[in-house]
Amino acid sequence: MARHRVLVPGSQVRILPPQPAGVSEAIPRSSKESMSQGGTLPQTFAVVLAAGKGTRMKSNRAKVLHTLCGVPMVNYVIEALKPLAPERLLVVVGHQADVVRGVLPEEAETVLQREQLGTGDAVRVALEVLEGEEEGVLLVVNGDGPLISDRTLGELVERHRSAGVGATVLVAELKDPRGLGRVVEDAGVVRIVEERDATEEERAIVLVNLGLYAFELSEIRDAIGKVDSDNGQAELYLTDVLEIIGRRSRAVTYRLKDLEEANLVNDRSQLARAEEILRRRILDAHMREGVTVRDPVSTHIEASVEIGRDTVILPGTFLRGTTKIGSDCVIGPSADLLDTVVCDGARVEHSVGRGAEVGEGATVGPYAFLRPGTVLGPDAKVGAYCEVKNTRVGRGSKVPHLSYVGDAEIGEDANLGAGTITANYDGVNKHRTTIGDGAFTGVNTNLIAPVTIGNGAYLGAGSVVNKDIPPGKLAVGMPARVIRDAPGRANDEDRRPRDETEG
């Protein structure tokens, strides 16, 4: 299955979507790498600020935990930092620290900010961890800008280095600057004023602080101690260091090139806007890799999903979690697959999958529900109005209509009649049903588990089976009793009467 990956949350991920090829080569590497190539670039330390609550989200969950296309906000920021290969990648956590820690990738080192005293305090806490490091660039990134690209971060650092200044801040001119710090730049000094502390004149400024900064380590260390909380929120503002550093060793702005990246998330409507952009990026990446998406508007594919080429995704489809789709599949319309694997050439139409596996060339739906532990073999079929749970359906076997099959093992080339139901639960325990190769059940068969239907056995319509049926026998009735050999079958366990199993 030639699949490609767009982004895997919290692991060896790369965000491919919006990057033109070759971008990461333009990004400065860490000192270790560059020195081994004869360079002398000082090292970069990255700090992601993720300790805040995110009051404007009106949520019980910390803001950075809110997901976009299935991945927590903070993970996008971390993914954008990874290609820079920072010497250390610190994440300041605080509000719901344990939950945030739980979503972070291995590379991220967490630092606890006990009390959320402001962005300045968050950086102060991170600097304590970096004690002893005298030289290098500290790249500080707010955790709520999920659209920021590795390219922008790389350019910010490069620009900062080549300008030889004490601090560089990423800025943009926005049509709607509301809620963001306004930037006043003047001859090597940058001052940022928060909206709530701004004068009416300052509020009219449309140049805003995007919350991404490159600092000389020595400068920020020195300046951070001089920040006070004399402001509207009685917080330590990181932004105050810019003025302090600017007066000593110059601070400059760097303008964001692609304004799409300026979609920061402070409330739910901004969350939806950013997610929409990411959703389109993900779809575009799949389409570039050879996946047909019939209706991008109604197709939702999470960042972690993989899809093979020449697969067609039909409208109204949701592919989520660790779902992996092979090549040459047809998925949808209206497929909703979570943590589900679909092998090459399979079809899934108007169906729901949860932790299921669909074999090569198998067909599912319309209107099937595959629950966790369902494994369909190659060319198997689960058809209309069937629910399957914790069950293996062997190669070429069919569960075509109106069935519930739970906790079962179905061999190869078996055929379950319409309305065949496993009675797998006695109210206390779950029991298993085994159905042999080439077995056939009539319509409305009830299989009272635990029970085994032998290879090539045949059940009459309406049978209620509470005892094992030997291979190759025909059984009928309630409870089903064996009356003779199965139609067209000798009483031979090894025989596989494939021809008669369709129906």
CB of 165 to ligand UD1, least distance (A): 19
**Alpha carbons 167 and 478: distance in angstroms, whole number:** 83
Q: Which is nearer to ligand UD1, 205 or 384 (CB)?
A: 205
Chain centroid, CA 148 distance in Å: 17
Q: Which residue is nearest to ligand UD1, using beta carbons?
A: 181
For residue 191, what is the enclosing H or E element? strand 189-193
Q: Which is nearer to ligand UD1, 76 or 440 (CB)?
A: 76
Q: Which is nearer to Ca ion, 266 or 444 (CB)?
A: 266
Q: Kindly tell me the burial class for residue 208, based on how many C-beta atoms sit within 10 Å of its own C-beta (0-12, 13-18, 19 or more).
A: buried
Of 84, 208, 375, 459, the one binding ligand UD1 by CB under 6 A: 208
Residue 143, contacted partner among ligand UD1, Ca ion, none, CB below 5-8 A by kind: ligand UD1
Q: Which is nearer to ligand UD1, 208 or 375 (CB)?
A: 208
459: number of Cβ within 10 Å? 30
What b-and-e string marks burial along 236-269, b requiring 16 or more CB atoms within 10 Å of the CB? Answer: bbbbbbbbbbbeebbbbbbebeeeebbbbbbbee
The full length of the chain comes to 503
The identity of residue 396, as a single letter, is: G
- Establish if 216 lies at the interface with ligand UD1 (CB under 6 A): no
**Alpha carbons 182 and 171: distance in angstroms, whole number:** 9
Of 57, 180, 217, 480, the one binding ligand UD1 by CB under 6 A: 180
For residue 281, what is the enclosing H or E element? helix 268-288
Q: Which 349-388 positions form the footprint of ligand UD1 (CB under 6 A)? A: none
Of 1, 16, 46, 51, the one binding ligand UD1 by CB under 6 A: 51
CB of 231 to ligand UD1, least distance (A): 8
Residue 380, contacted partner among Ca ion, ligand UD1, none, CB below 5-8 A by kind: none
Using DSSP, state whether 59 is helix, strand or coil.
coil
CB of 264 to Ca ion, least distance (A): 6
CB of 184 to ligand UD1, least distance (A): 12
Residue partners of 153: CB distance under 8 A and separation at least 6: 27, 80, 81, 84, 139, 141, 212
- Establish if 92 lies at the interface with ligand UD1 (CB under 6 A): yes
Whether 103 contacts 11, CB under 8 Å:
no
Q: Which is nearer to ligand UD1, 211 or 454 (CB)?
A: 211
Q: What is the DSSP letter of 234?
A: -
Residue 100, contacted partner among Ca ion, ligand UD1, none, CB below 5-8 A by kind: none
Of 126, 139, 238, 293, the one binding ligand UD1 by CB under 6 A: 238
CA angle, 316 then 65 then 180, to 5°: 100
Virtual CA dihedral for 127, 131, 137, 138, nearest 10 degrees?
A: -10
- Establish if 436 lies at the interface with ligand UD1 (CB under 6 A): no
For residue 318, what is the enclosing H or E element? strand 318-320
Number of residues this chain uses to bind ligand UD1 (CB under 6 A): 30
Q: Which is nearer to ligand UD1, 145 or 308 (CB)?
A: 145
**Alpha carbons 347 and 365: distance in angstroms, whole number:** 8
Please write down the HEC assignment for all residues of 198-210: CCHHHHCCCEEEE
56: number of Cβ within 10 Å? 13
CA angle, 15 then 323 then 302, to 5°: 45
Residue partners of 415: CB distance under 8 A and separation at least 6: 397, 398, 400, 439, 440, 441, 501, 502, 503
Q: Which is nearer to ligand UD1, 233 or 292 (CB)?
A: 233
Q: Give the interface segment with ligand UD1, choosing from 44-52, 221-229, 287-295, 416-424 (CB under 6 A).
A: 44-52
Of 117, 139, 341, 343, the one binding ligand UD1 by CB under 6 A: 117
4, 286, 401, 431: the catalytic one is: 401
User: Which residue do the tokens 């306004």 mark?
Assistant: 182
Residues forming the site for Ca ion (CB under 5 A): 144, 266
Token representation of residue 107:
């590379």
Q: Give the interface segment with ligand UD1, choosing from 46-54, 161-169, 350-358, 390-398 (CB under 6 A).
A: 46-54
Q: Give the interface segment with ligand UD1, choosing from 202-210, 374-382, 414-422, 480-488 (CB under 6 A).
A: 202-210
Residue 18, contacted partner among Ca ion, ligand UD1, none, CB below 5-8 A by kind: none
Q: Which is nearer to Ca ion, 59 or 327 (CB)?
A: 59
- Establish if 148 lies at the interface with ligand UD1 (CB under 6 A): no
CB of 52 to Ca ion, least distance (A): 8
- Establish if 121 lies at the interface with ligand UD1 (CB under 6 A): yes
Whether 400 contacts 419, CB under 8 Å:
no
- Establish if 239 lies at the interface with ligand UD1 (CB under 6 A): yes
CB of 48 to Ca ion, least distance (A): 13
Closest CA to 41 of 29, 52, 53: 29
4 is catalytic: no
**Alpha carbons 254 and 87: distance in angstroms, whole number:** 23
Residue ranges that bind ligand UD1, judged by CB under 6 A: 49-52, 64, 92, 94, 113, 116-119, 121-122, 142-144, 180-181, 192, 194, 208-211, 237-239, 264, 266
Catalytic residue numbers?
Answer: 401
